[in-house]
Amino acid sequence: MSNIRPADMERITTRELADKFIEEQIKEIREQVGDGKVLLALSGGVDSSVVAALLIKAIGDRLTCVHVNHGLLRKGEPEQVIKVFKEEMGANLIYVDAVDRFLDKLAGVAEPETKRKIIGAEFIDVFAEEASKLDGIGFLGQGTIYPDILESDGVKAHHNVGGLPEDLQFELVEPVKLLYKDEVRVVGTALGLPDSMVYRQPFPGPGLGVRCVGAITRDRLEAVREADAIVREEIGKMNPTPWQYFCAIPDFVSTGVKDDKRYMGWAVVVRAINTVDAVTAEAVEIPWPMLTTIRDRIIAEVLGVNRVLWDISDKPVATIEWE
């Protein structure tokens, strides 16, 4: 298929259209791959998950998925990837626990762009090492979608593995490259993926690394992960839910009081926004009873936190993420 979306291409909005798309892509994948083998970096995000499910239907165990846990994922995400793809879909899945490797490289690094570069480079290194252990791989699956092509000429920032060494270059298999995100979600539902994966919120490539503001420490990173789970659970009860909602923990402490003693603790910043194009965004009003529930749960359940703040900034001037 061409990298230019055909003007007459029908929008995938229904199960019937999604089923038709799946049938066409399975045929195209089989024609492209033949008897070959495909390697896929499976992050657990919407795009890579849908591509994995499509490839499993098309070529079965000739797909090898590599899931790299860099320690910056949200609570329960590595476990969900293993459950859905390995246990339920029978995927040939390689799980790589690289938490220590990533966090050791990030220790003491506070500058946001440097953190991003370290995470991206280390991911490529880990993925390349796993790829070099496999024989007969001729193709690389990628979750490129149409906006990626429009914005970056087909290179998907933070998720692609385009930096692989010369001896590990493969022909690309990109079955959803002509779809918009909402269409990918419809296809994911038709493929039987769980809603928690298909309707997963936008999540930055560096993961919680940009929500643990400043130099990442393991204790503060764990606090971000636990607080994020509470924020997603509680704000997820809103109807309609905001486009994106999460929390960040800045790299400073303030005075708190517990058991009549003063101590220093972190502040969790709660953020919920609505946007159409992510170029501009508006803060979403969170009902006060929900905010107080979030506050009480975070302070009671998350070690080291003594304040909960609400970020009501719009974009511009503020960005969506804190880094």
pLDDT digits (tens, 9 = 90+) for 287-319: 999 999 999 999 999 999 999 999 999 999 999
User: Do the domains 15-198 and 211-311 sit in the same CATH topology, yes or no?
Assistant: no
Give me the pLDDT at residue 152, please: 59
For CA atoms 212, 217, 218, 219, the dihedral sign is negative
| CA gap 207, 119 in Å, rounded | 9
End-to-end CA, the chain: 37
Whole-number pLDDT of residue 22: 97
What sign does the CA torsion over 212, 215, 216, 221 have? Answer: negative
CATH number given to 15-198? 3.40.50.620
Query: What pLDDT was estimated at residue 158?
Result: 41
pLDDT at 313: 98
Does 211-311 carry CATH code 3.30.300.10?
A: yes
Do 281 and 314 meet the contact criterion of CB atoms below 8 Å apart?
A: yes
**Confidence at residue 147, expressed as pLDDT on a 0 to 100 scale:** 82
State the pLDDT at residue 1. 43
Determine the pLDDT at residue 259. Answer: 84
Low-confidence ranges of the chain (pLDDT < 50): 1-2, 154-160
pLDDT number for residue 39: 97
Q: Which residue from 123, 70, 65 is spatially nearest to 94, judged by alpha carbons?
A: 65
- Three-class HEC string of the chain: CCCCCCCCCCCCCCHHHHHHHHHHHHHHHHHHHCCCEEEEECCCCHHHHHHHHHHHHHHHHHEEEEEEECCCCCCCHHHHHHHHHHHHCCCEEEEEECHHHHHHHHCCCCCHHHHHHHHHHHHHHHHHHHHHCCCCEEEEECCCCHHHHHHHCCCCCCCCCCCCCHHHCCEEECCCCCCCHHHHHHHHHHCCCCHHHHCCCCCCCCHHHHCECCCCCHHHHHHHHHHHHHHHHHHCCCCCCCCEEEEEECCCEEEEEECCEEEEEEEEEEEEEECCCCCCEEECCCCHHHHHHHHHHHHHHCCCEEEEEEECCCECCCCCCCC
What residue spans define the domains of the chain? 15-198, 211-311
CA distance 49 to 85: 9
